[in-house]
Amino acid sequence: MSPDDLTYTRGMGRWEPGARERLREAALELFTERGFEQTMVADIAQRAGVTARTFFRYFADKREVLFDGSADLAKQVQNVVETMPPTASALDVVAAVLDAVAQLAGDDRDRARARQAVITANTDLRERELIKQAALTAALTEVLRQRGIGNIEASLAAETGSAVFRVAFNQWGDATENRDLRDVIRETLTRLRILAAAE
Amino acid sequence: MSPDDLTYTRGMGRWEPGARERLREAALELFTERGFEQTMVADIAQRAGVTARTFFRYFADKREVLFDGSADLAKQVQNVVETMPPTASALDVVAAVLDAVAQLAGDDRDRARARQAVITANTDLRERELIKQAALTAALTEVLRQRGIGNIEASLAAETGSAVFRVAFNQWGDATENRDLRDVIRETLTRLRILAAAE
DNA sequence: TAGCGTGATGTCACCTGGTGACATCGGGGG
DNA sequence: CCCCCGATGTCACCAGGTGACATCACGCTA
């Protein structure tokens, strides 16, 4: 729409620039309109003004178009952890990372909900989402280990943190929920402490 | 091998019975020999003595042949939880479920390692594994809710339990590890308590 | 014993996702 | 002014997956 107008009018090359963004938008629109399976790559490409072959030059497969930029998250994790004092406990680091991720993932509630609706409606997309989360968890585990935390300790902290994030993110997506994602995460973390302490 | 002999010699129909089992075995063999991507469905079918079309009558897709029977797990979860006293806490129930799953998943270490090697080597299979775990987690969440545990509490307990299982299962797969899976799980659960209690 | 229905399988045509190889074309630098 | 380069199009092709229909042995029944 509005961003499109800009890129369109100042098109000066052989092809309109911003193909990647157009593909992203077209895909989200079509997935929302007809669903993931009912949308063919050729449809997305056509709406974006390119061919299917070009789609696959930007995205490894049909699903990936919904997860563009998730590689940036790993770098963010790296950055956040580097700014933590060496005295911070594993769980402190994890909490900080969750907070940072929440800022990126939770800034636009409506867009997040729309995207999530598409993902939840399709098993293949759920699979892709899960492995992206797993990749992030692995990255977190790795940076924790680099801080001298033991193997098991590191993966346990990372996996637990991811669990907390998933639960909080889900809750945050609820229609009745209106708190900031970071607040929900903090509350969930507290709940976990209570849960684990009970005995 | 030995079970095959039986079904083979008493083959009395137009086709040898046990096509499903033959397909499972053929698939695992071929995946181990050449890897998942290098194995075509037609290859598996041929080794099992059927056509590719028949493969897809037994398994929804090429990956599913490695996860046959994972639906039984959900029923097991259901059974285990039903035998728990109503006074048991959420974490008690989760611990019991992990114990039960460990018995099924951890009885044959060598076979488990072989299967896991195949899965770990391929992203698509990793995705499928993750969503199977997620399904199990969802089932656990559901039974917890049916016991009157609150929404968030239930999913948090289930997700955390899954996290513990993943970490423990990983550790159990290590070459240097020789304890029973259930012992590793118990230890990991203890570690989690310590981690969460730390301040 | 001659059908007859049935279920598991084979066959075939077809669609879609995905890839490699090569052609094309416009812009920017020499 | 020309040539190189990068982004795109075109085309042929492969593998996963599905629907429709044919086939055939088995067991049941008249």
Instruction: Assign residue B7 the CATH number of its domain.
Output: 1.10.10.60
Q: Is the domain of A84 the same as that of A176?
A: yes
Q: Give me the CATH number covering residue B82.
A: 1.10.357.10
Mean pLDDT by runs of 10 across the 199 residues of chain B is: 32 72 97 98 98 98 96 91 94 96 90 94 98 97 96 97 98 93 97 88
Q: Is the domain of B118 the same as that of B186?
A: yes
Q: What pLDDT was estimated at residue A13?
A: 58
The phi and psi torsions of A177 (rounded to 5 degrees) equal: -90, 130
Q: Is the domain of B33 the same as that of B112?
A: no
Whether A40 has a pLDDT exceeding 70, the answer reads: yes
Cα–Cα distances (Å) from A15 to A9, A10, A19, A26, A73, in that order, read 12, 11, 9, 17, 30
3-state SS class at A137: helix
DSSP label at residue B32 = H
* Model confidence pLDDT, tens digit, residues A84-135: 999 999 999 999 999 999 998 888 888 899 999 999 999 999 999 999 999 9
Q: Is the domain of A58 the same as that of A73?
A: no
Q: What pLDDT was estimated at residue A167?
A: 98
Q: Is the domain of A46 the same as that of A133?
A: no
> Which nucleotide lies closest to B54 by the C1' atom and the CA atom?
C9
Cα–Cα distances (Å) from B51 to A34, B19, B54, B55, B85, in that order, read 34, 11, 5, 7, 50
Q: Is the dihedral of CA A13, A15, A21, A22 positive or negative?
A: positive
* Model confidence pLDDT, tens digit, residues B101-143: 999 888 888 889 999 999 999 999 999 999 999 999 999 999 9
Q: Using a CB cutoff of 8 Å and minimum separation of 24, what contacts does B28-32 make?
A: B28/B66, B28/B114, B28/B115, B28/B118, B31/B66, B31/B118, B32/B114, B32/B117, B32/B118
Q: Is the domain of A89 the same as that of A55?
A: no
Q: Is the domain of B73 the same as that of B137?
A: yes
Mean pLDDT of A48-70: 97
CA dihedral angle for residue B163, residue B167, residue B172, residue B177, rounded to 10 degrees:
-150
User: pLDDT class for A16, splitting at 50, 70, 90?
Assistant: confident
Calculate what percentage of chain A has a pLDDT beyond 90: 81
Domain-ending residue, one of A65, A85, A106: A65
Two tokens at B125? Answer: 């299979």
Smallest CA–CA distance from A164 into chain B, residue: B156
- Specify which of A11-20, A32-41, B5-14 reaches the highest per-range mean pLDDT: A32-41
User: pLDDT class for A15, splitting at 50, 70, 90?
Assistant: confident
Which amino acid belongs to residue A63? R
Mean pLDDT of A136-140: 97
Q: What pLDDT was estimated at residue B106?
A: 87
Q: Is the domain of B90 the same as that of B7?
A: no
The better pLDDT of the pair B67, A199 is held by: B67
CA dihedral angle for residue B158, residue B159, residue B163, residue B165, rounded to 10 degrees:
20
Q: Is the domain of B88 the same as that of B170?
A: yes
d(CA B161, CA B196): 13
3-state SS class at A188: helix
Of A128, A160, A164, the CB nearest to B127: A128
Q: Is the domain of A160 the same as that of A175?
A: yes
| Nearest C-alpha neighbor of B106 from the set B164, B172, B29, B25 | B172
**What value does the mean pLDDT of chain A take?**
91
Whether A1 has a pLDDT exceeding 70, the answer reads: no
CA dihedral angle for residue A174, residue A176, residue A182, residue A183, rounded to 10 degrees:
-140
Q: Identify all chain A residues contacting B131, using CB atoms and an 8 Å cutoff.
A: 123, 126-127, 130
Count the domains in chain A.
2
Q: Are A76 and A142 in contact (CB under 8 A)?
A: no
Cα B85–chain centre separation:
26
Angle at B187 between CA A187 and CA B123, to 5 degrees: 75
Rounded distance in angstroms from the CA atom of residue B6 to the C1' atom of nucleotide D29: 32
Q: Are A152 and B167 in contact (CB under 8 A)?
A: yes
> Which nucleotide lies closest to A18 by the C1' atom and the CA atom?
D7
Q: Which of residues 37-56 of A touch strand C (CB under 7 A)?
A: 39-42, 52-53, 56
Domain residues for the domain of B20 are: 2-61
Q: Using a CB cutoff of 8 Å and minimum separation of 24, what contacts does A21-27 make?
A: A22/A47, A22/A48, A22/A49, A22/A50, A23/A48, A23/A50, A23/A55, A23/A58, A23/A59, A23/A65, A24/A65, A24/A68, A27/A65, A27/A66
Q: What pLDDT was estimated at residue A5?
A: 34
Is B170 an 8 Å CB contact of chain A? yes
Q: Is the domain of B82 the same as that of B168?
A: yes
Smallest CA–CA distance from A184 into chain B, residue: B152
Q: Are B44 and B26 in contact (CB under 8 A)?
A: yes
Q: Is the domain of A176 the same as that of A163?
A: yes
